[in-house]
Structure 1
Amino acid sequence: MPKVTLDLPEEVFSALRRSPEEFVRELRLAAAIYWYQKSEISQEKAATIAGLNRRDFLMALSREQVDVFAVDFDDLQRELERG
């Protein structure tokens, strides 16, 4: 598995009151949510990036008040027209 290394000042962790491990978990989740909201990745891929199973990722979306189901209204309109 590829590994990414970030060099951050020690003050970041104390300012956020997070350990480096907590920071990494939150960073992975934030990135996963961001890309999921932009419809760049699926829920399943987002969960993997966040280091969670899909159910826990859905719970994290709920806690962060992020819509779980994104609706593309153009796609919905095409579906309705076909039906």
Structure 2
Amino acid sequence: MKTLTINIPNTADIDDKEAKMALASKLYERGRLTLGQAAELAGYSKETFMELLAEYNVSVINYSPEELDEDIDNARRHSL
């Protein structure tokens, strides 16, 4: 695992936990981390991380429209 040290101005009024959550949510949104990896980076369980994503306007479902269409087609083919 990489270690990153950043200097955040005091005027930003952000604590370590919030900075980790902001970074983790953005990396998850961009597809650079899985949900589990992002939750671990932020220091939360997957369930808690998923709940907090809403505060950062990040969707838990991170599929492209094409992937959603493919999943719908697969569900239709395999439904009873």
The alignment's TM-score, normalised by the length of structure 1, stands at: 0.69
Unaligned 5+ segments in structure 2 are: none
Unaligned 5+ segments in structure 1 are: none
Q: Deviations over 1:10-36 (max 9, x none)?
A: xx11x1234xxx1x2222111111111
2:63 to 71, 75, 78: 71
**1:1-83 alignment to 2 at 5 Å?**
3-6=3-6, 8=7, 12-13=9-10, 15-18=11-14, 22=15, 24-79=16-71, 80=73, 83=77
Structure 1 vs Structure 2 CA RMSD: 2.3
Q: How many residues align?
A: 75
The alignment's TM-score, normalised by the length of structure 2, stands at: 0.71
Percent of residue pairs bearing the same amino acid type: 21
Query: Cα distance, 1:3 vs. partner?
Result: 3.9
C-alpha distance in 2 between matches for 1:64 and 1:49: 15
